[in-house]
Amino acid sequence: MPIDSFRPQSWNGIDDIVIVGGGLAGLFCALKLAPRPVTILAAAPIGQGASSAWAQGGIAAAMSPGDTFEKHVADTLEAGAGIVDEKMARFMVSEGPARIHDLLEYGVPFDRDLEGKLLLSREAAHSERRIVRVKGDMAGKAIMEALISAVRKTPSIRVLEGYVVEELVREGRFISGVVARPDAGQSKNRVHFPARAVVLCSGGVGHLYAVTTNPWEACGQGVGMAARAGAIIADPEFVQFHPTAINIGRDPAPLATEALRGDGAHLINSAGHRFMLDIHEDGELAPRDVVSRGVFAEVQAGRGAFLDCTKAVGAHFPDMFPTVYASCIAAGIDPVTQPIPVVPAVHYHMGGVLTDAEGRTSIDGLWAAGEVTSTGVHGANRLASNSLLEAVVFAARIAENIKGMLPEPKINDWGKNAGESDDLVTIEDSPALKRLRRVMSDHVGVIRSREGLATAIREIAALERENSRMRFHNIVTTAKLIATGAYLREESRGGHFRSDFTEQKADWKHRTFLTLADAEKVVADLSETAAA
């Protein structure tokens, strides 16, 4: 049955605010909105489908005696390769310490020194020690556990788990609700949730690619939904690859946190050569895009890439980095005595739904926070541990903004019988998604070219034509935006590297703003070229 030939059931009542996504941004926003009624719609049990829960590094905040907001902003601007929105970055950095104290009040057990002060670490491209961590590599897990506990105890927050949001409902210039499918997206019925405000916190795009560190839920549906509703998408071409995913054939790939390199671990090839010293003066602590290309080149050349922690961490590994240690031991690798095989993996999307300083998108009634957005604070390449900071800062700003301006509710009769749907195949197991992930990794990955991107765009268009399922259309729309953004940007900058345009260009020193209609025009032009 065609996807538009049935009508979803209607939720009996109206939700004041609906938050799409149960990750860090969604939970933090809900807590900041209390005691205002909020419904969180999460595809998986809250925390389980969130990239935030897997974050190993921590949160960056200028809180040490020798650090300043100016230094943190300067590091952010440097990492972002010339296109960071400086005003937005200053908002984020200046509000960071207050948000850290919020998290402490919610019960997050950040590491402290013997005097009880927050223990701050350093990561790549940071000029100071400003990373707040939990037990070395467990920050994301600990933060999410604390927030989940706080949410469960807050009576104004209703959590509906297993609801896959498939569509934003637009009436005129307003988003007036969402349509979701229960039972982890496997139900035959869809449910409409009218709302006075919708906050999109649906996460990233990692599973558009064959190798990623992200959970399965991070497959770009939020960006695709927003684009299909008419929202402006910013900087979609900028995808950050983490240079040190553990190369043991797991999907998602486990992560060897950047903190290991911050603590002195070295990258070597199979001959034991520290290849990053040949590429950048900062060696292993160079920006992630530089390190990713270095690791990628060694792997492609057949020499392999390995993270050697045996001297820098050694016997302390099990206590200092228990998550990484467990992943290695499960694969038969002892990181105390053996180098860890690594490979670049999609880790973070700098692009996403365009928002302003209050988290408002280009459509009234729709706000967004977290990795689904492009606030401009990351530019072309995210500075390590700024992502969790961005999530909590802008989630809090959204809460303040919504409190001051709620649109009037409007409820429509959406009918009672949802009928049957052909949208019940598990997306994760579908041949179409496997094909899409391979196309994205082959042609829209660490190194890109005009020819490869054109091939990818045509393949994406073919996949879209061949598949009618709503969720897949959201996913493939995001892939289309990333590929077309990369095709149009004829230079190399930050996380975007073109083998045919290897240098930065002054006339490209700006952000990208695309609508779905813009992307469709590129698809049409390439289709005409192929047919000619």
DSSP 452-466: HHHHHHHHHHHHHHH
**Candidate ranges 86-95, 125-134, 414-423; pick with highest mean pLDDT:** 86-95
* Residue 426, phi then psi, degrees to nearest 5: -60, 115
Q: What is the pLDDT of residue 154?
A: 94
Place of tokens 């579908």: 430
pLDDT tops 70 at residue 167? yes
pLDDT of 527 reads 86
For residues 236 and 246, give the distance between their C-alpha atoms in angstroms, rounded to a whole number: 26
Q: Is 465 a catalytic site residue?
A: no
If one compares 530 and 411, the residue with the highest pLDDT of the two is: 530
Residue owning tokens 């729709």 = 366
Token pair belonging to 114? 């013997």
Residue 529 is predicted with a pLDDT of 80
Using 50, 70 and 90 to split pLDDT, how confident is the model at 406?
A: low
Alpha helix stretches (DSSP H) within 83-184: 86-105, 139-152
DSSP 60: E
Mean pLDDT of 357-364: 98
| pLDDT reported for residue 283 | 95
Confidence of residue 455 (pLDDT cuts 50, 70, 90): very high
The length of the chain, given as a count of residues = 532
Q: State residue 217's pLDDT score.
A: 87
Note the pLDDT tens digit of each residue in 178-190.
Answer: 999 999 989 999 9
pLDDT at residue 12 greater than cutoff 60 = no
CB 178 within 8 A of CB 19: no
Supply φ then ψ for residue 133, to 5 degrees.
-125, 175
| pLDDT (average), residues 123-132 | 89
Give pLDDT, residue 407.
45
**235 vs 373: CA distance, rounded Å:** 10
Please tell me the predicted confidence (pLDDT) of residue 331. Answer: 95
Q: Do 361 and 353 form a contact (C-beta atoms < 8 A)?
A: yes
Cβ pair 262, 122 in contact under 8 A: yes
How much is the average pLDDT of 89-115?
95
Q: Is the pTM of this model over 0.85?
A: yes
Exactly one of 196, 288, 448, 469 is catalytic; name it: 288
- The DSSP call for residue 518 is H
Q: Are 301 and 505 in contact (CB under 8 A)?
A: no
Q: Which structural domains are found in the chain, ordered by start? A: 9-237+350-420 (3.50.50.60), 243-344 (3.90.700.10), 431-530 (1.20.58.100)
Cross-strand partners of 42: 161
pLDDT value at 232 more than 90 = yes
Q: What is the tally of helices (H) and strands (E) in the chain?
A: 14, 19
Locate 488 and state its tokens: 């149009």
State mean pLDDT over 427-451.
Answer: 91
Sheet holding 373-374, edge to edge: 373-374, 352-354, 233-234, 513-514
Only one residue has tokens 């994760």, namely 428
Q: What are phi and psi of 472, to 5 degrees?
A: -65, -35
The answer to whether the Cα torsion of 418, 205, 87, 121 is positive or negative is positive
Scanning the structure block, which residue is given the tokens 């045919």? 500
Instruction: Supply the mean pLDDT for the chain.
Output: 90
| CA-to-CA separations, 202 to 39, 46, 215, 347, in angstroms, rounded | 14, 12, 12, 15
